[in-house]
Amino acid sequence: MQKKGFIFDLDGVIVNTAIYHYLAWKKIADQLEIPFSEIKNEQLKGVSRTDSLKKILSWKNLTVTKEIFNHLLEKKNNDYLHYISKMTENDILPNVVNTLKWLKNNNQQIALGSASKNAKIIIEKIQLTHFFETIIDGNSVTKTKPNPEVFLNAAKYLKLPPEKCIVFEDSVAGIQAANSGGMISIGIGDKKTLSDAHYNFKDFTEIKNEFLLKLINN
């Protein structure tokens, strides 16, 4: 059996923290009197905290001082940390653990590639740290998705060329990053939204071991 690199995004792939990001960003948007909805929140998926705030401000052509900007970033993060502090392994999305176990049992290499600066905290909270050979998060990259840096760094750590890596993503920016990095992209979520992915699944309950085996042997 060949050895491939399986790189997982975090938010919306392993756990559904999207709701917590949405609630924290909504507080900021409400404070700034900027209309914000779950549909608008989709534009922030896979995007760094700094770029997300820039995007929200742009919706109202609003400019703020650097001091206020940093204060808003800190406030959003503190609210988000409050929400995720209560997370447990019960927050892991269906069949993710079975997929990780199968890959581990078949000697595949597993990495986490996330824009989140809190990725390590969350992975520890939900007790999945032992599955990952490396965690590349928002603290260890300078460019955010759709730039492929986060995934290329993960591949480099795994000592594998990009074409031997498979990325699980739930965001448009993440799929674009995987594709431009020369990797196989697997969209988790809405097929229409993630139409650029090489493969699409609603969630991990649809991913069978036979499919994973096909990815490894191809």
Residue 91 known to be catalytic? no
SS3 41: helix
Strand order of the β-sheet with 199-201 is 134-136, 109-113, 5-8, 165-169, 184-188, 199-201
- Lookup: tokens for 135: 């965690």
The DSSP 8-state label assigned to residue 166 in this structure reads E
Q: Which residues pair with 127 in a beta bridge?
A: none
Residue 30 known to be catalytic? no
- Residue 107: CA count within 13 A, CB half-sphere: 3
CA distances from 99 to 56, 106, 113, 215, 218 (A): 35, 11, 17, 13, 18
- The catalytic position among 9, 170, 190, 196 is 9
Cα–Cα dist 139/4, whole Å: 25
- The catalytic position among 11, 30, 137, 170 is 11
Residues with a catalytic annotation lie at 9, 11
